[in-house]
Amino acid sequence: MKHEVGNVVYLLHPERSAVLPGRILEQVTKKTISGEEQYFYVEIPGSSELLNLSDFDGTIFNDAKSVKEHLFSTLKQNIENLVDESVQQAETLWGLEHVKKSIPAAKKRSRRKTKNQVEKEEVQTLVDLGDGTVARLKQ
């Protein structure tokens, strides 16, 4: 991952289930015979010591949007797994035919009428056509 000194990164801490912001304060480049290594040290709020990113066990993100996308996709996958396991357990205990019957039909949501719709409905007039038929006249 490419980092720049002064940028903010977001650290997803696996043990604390938290997202921590960190500002990159130092970039150390170490040259040896076997090659070149780079280390990034970040400042974490509430900590007096700098954290070496290569020692961090969690996931590192360069922007908040990426953290949100990762967390939402992980949450969605966890929810899908929970529901799938529950359905499998129900099928095992009671059989497939009982599981399908117990799924409720989707409820139709009614919309609230806007002020204009209510006013339009109030403008309607009933007209007697003379042969016993009544018609509704809309203006």
Q: Each residue of 30-62: pLDDT tens digit?
A: 999 999 999 999 999 988 999 999 888 889 999
What percent of the chain is predicted at pLDDT more than 70?
70
pLDDT higher than threshold 90 for residue 10: yes
Average the pLDDT over each of 10-19, 66-75, 100-109 and give the range with the smallest value.
Answer: 100-109
80 and 39 housed in the same domain: no
Please give the pLDDT value at position 96. Answer: 72
17 and 56 housed in the same domain: yes
The three-state DSSP-derived secondary structure of 76-137 is HHHHHHHHHHHHHHHHHHHCHHHHHHCCCCCCCCCCCCCHHHHHHHHCCEEEECCCCCEEEE
Position 107 in a domain: no
How many domains are there within the chain? 2
Please state the φ and ψ torsions of residue 113, each to the nearest 5 degrees: -80, 135
52 and 29 housed in the same domain: yes
- Residues spanned by the domain of 55: 8-62
Please give the pLDDT value at position 100. Answer: 62
pLDDT higher than threshold 90 for residue 120: no
49 and 87 housed in the same domain: no
Position 93 in a domain: yes
32 and 71 housed in the same domain: no
How does residue 116 score in pLDDT terms, banded at 50, 70 and 90?
Answer: low
Position 92 in a domain: yes
Report which of residues 134 and 46 the model is more confident about: 46
Position 90 in a domain: yes
Instruction: Report the distance separating Cα 44 and Cα 28, nearest Å.
Output: 18
Report which of residues 35 and 106 the model is more confident about: 35
